Chain A
Amino acid sequence: MKPRIAEPCDIDRLRTAYPSAFAPGYARRAAALAGISAVVGLFIFGVVWLGFSPSALVQGISKLGVILKLMFPPTAGQHMLVYLQALAQTLSIALLGTMLAALVAFPLSFLAARNVVGRWLLRFLTKRVFDAIRGIDTLVWALIFINVVGLGPFAGILAVAMSDVGAFGKLFSEAIETASPKPVEGVLSTGASKIQEVRFAIVPQVLPLLLSQVLYYFESNIRSATVIGIVGAGGIGLYLSNEIGQQSWDHVSFIILMILITVAIIDAVSGRLRRSIIGAQARS
């Protein structure tokens, strides 16, 4: 029974045996210090350049305190029905936008997947288009679609769909690329065409994963759908920005509360659905 761990008195012996482990490591420390001071330096530069001033900040925070006090108690006043309708519209925008995006992105994502499309150029172009679409925020798409189909929730649906096509295209094609090649070989050995290969070898493998990603995006789209009303593309955001503009703070807090509750409910329901979809895949 020899002890396997070094006794404290062995430290000197260990120090001579492994000098590098006990070396002070100035170079690493200097590099870390340089990195940290660069990060902090840029932060301080940013704070100065963006015009943070302590007095304005203190004033703003005290004003925020007043606003917070006026927010209680939250009340809808006469507008309960209008708010509920707008909230339903927000949910509709999120649902239809997500579904439209999934339907459009599903066929396109195969074009960007390495194991489906052999041509390098086509794949590269599809991927870059997805990147470009994702680079533009939903609110910008909302503004553009307002120019195309006019003010209202329809522009919101298209905006949510557009920015999600980019996200889904990337996620779907990555999921397709991780699909196992074995079923593909099996299906190909029967003389199947490209379409049959995709339908019977790849789609069954990736469908549960794709569905759970779509549900996840539905959850996050509810958050974006609450704000596209700010630029006039339908939903509760319009009322939120109007009430802030009119300084009806008790209505503002009521709307925020409504949004929080809705998001919590949808998260719970869709989280359960997602787990059951992924669980079904793990069991079979």
Chain B
Amino acid sequence: MAELTDTAQQRATGLLRDYGAAVRAKRIRAAMYFVALVICVLAASWSGEVDLRKFVEGLPRFGSYFRDITPTLRPATLGSDIAEWYWNFPVWLELLLETLLVAYVGTLAGATLGFFLCFFTSANISGNRTVSFVVKRALEFCRTVPDIVFALLFVFAIGLGPVPGVLAIAIHTAGALGKQFAEVIENIDLKPVEGLRSTGANWVDQIQFAVLPQVTSNFASYVLLRFEINVRGATVMGFVGAGGIGKELLGSIRQFYYSDVSAILLMIIATVVVIDLLTERLRHRLLGTAKV
């Protein structure tokens, strides 16, 4: 009996020892990562001109900024206060609609371009390796360069207005969606494609009748997600003169028209939230019917 408990105890100490060693190894690894991170942060703070004193000084100003942009609304004169707050409402509304249209047209144009390009880059159905490589790099370029940089270039080439904004969003969208579309295609079931090929169908027929029915709902869902992102992006296109509400927002922030800032920001947030809710509902419906 005593012998038995001894072995059990020995086993327990052995286990404890192993556990301790494992935990120690893990802690040492974590500590090493932590030290590396601290070094990176220190280097970054130096290069990023982080000044904690400035931050502490700025912190109350951050609070007072939000107090400043809060409009004065008194219950007694609520109607006229709101009217004064949104004194430029028709203009802002039109600019907001312009912003939405910029996002819509840009998303649709970019999605169309990405749609036609994605078939050349998916590893499982694209025929030619060289074409696939070239298209892939081109898409990568389009999505890595931020849309607002494209907008800067296009504003210079085409002139001020919403058109360069649309083109910038379209190019960036083509890059992002082309990649996502290609990934969807790489995950499809290839049996329908083989079946069609065995009947002698050409490449376009194979895509139309074997690939598209499998991917349409996923594609649409990605397009809707991208539209959400592009609505946010389109709100700042005006910063570089590429149309939409951004120009008004930039002006009111720079010139300290406090109540205008909050009025425009509130309109933007409301629009973005509504668009998010609508597209989320649409996407659930799309993917829901696709799964059944």
Contacts and interface: CB of A to CB of B under 8 A. Distances in A.
A227 B41 contact: no
B48 A39 contact: no
B101 A240 contact: no
Interface residues of A, number: 64
A50 B101 contact: yes
Contacts of B164: 60
Contacts, number: 164
Return the 4 tightest CB-CB contacts between A and B, nearest first: A60-B158, A92-B44, A92-B48, A135-B272
5 contacts: A46-B102, A50-B105, A137-B236, A139-B239, A259-B145
Nearest to A240: B149
A154 B253 contact: no
B125 interface: no
Interface in A128-173: 131-132, 134-137, 139-140, 143-145, 147-150, 152-154, 156-157
A149 B240 CA distance: 22
A230 B159 contact: no
Contact of B55 (A52, A56, A61, A149): A149
Interface string B50-71: 1100110010011001000000
A135 B273 contact: yes
Interface residues of B, number: 59
Given A50-B98, A147-B253, A137 B232 contact: yes
Contacts of A140: 235-236, 249, 253, 265
Contact of A60 (B49, B146, B154, B273): B154
Interface in B159-197: 159, 161-164, 166
Contacts of B161: 50-51
A80 interface: no
B34 interface: no
Nearest to B57: A149
A109 interface: no
Nearest to A65: B157
Contact of A153 (B49, B98, B273): B49
Given A63-B157, A230-B240, A259-B145, A157 B48 contact: yes
B58 A148 contact: yes
Contacts of A56: 158-159, 163
B144 A154 contact: no
B166 A50 contact: yes
A48 B202 CA distance: 37
A184 B140 CA distance: 43
B269 interface: yes
A144 B54 contact: no
B191 to A, nearest CB: 14
B50 A230 contact: no
Given A60-B154, A140-B265, A154-B54, 6 more contacts: A46-B104, A61-B157, A136-B269, A139-B148, A147-B65, A260-B145
Interface string A78-105: 0000000100110111011001000000
B120 to A, nearest CB: 21
Given A52-B163, A140-B235, A143-B253, A89 B48 contact: yes
Contacts of B146: 223-224, 226-227
Contacts of B149: 226-227, 240, 256
A67 B156 contact: yes
B148 A230 contact: yes
A68 B254 CA distance: 33
Contacts of A42: 104
A53 B50 CA distance: 47
A230 B155 CA distance: 14
Interface centre among A50, A149, A223, A256 (most CB of B within 10 A): A50
A249 B232 CA distance: 29
B232 A135 contact: yes
B154 A92 contact: no
B114 interface: no
Nearest to A147: B65
A160 B110 CA distance: 27
B48 A153 contact: yes
Nearest to B43: A92
A149 B54 contact: yes
Nearest to B66: A144
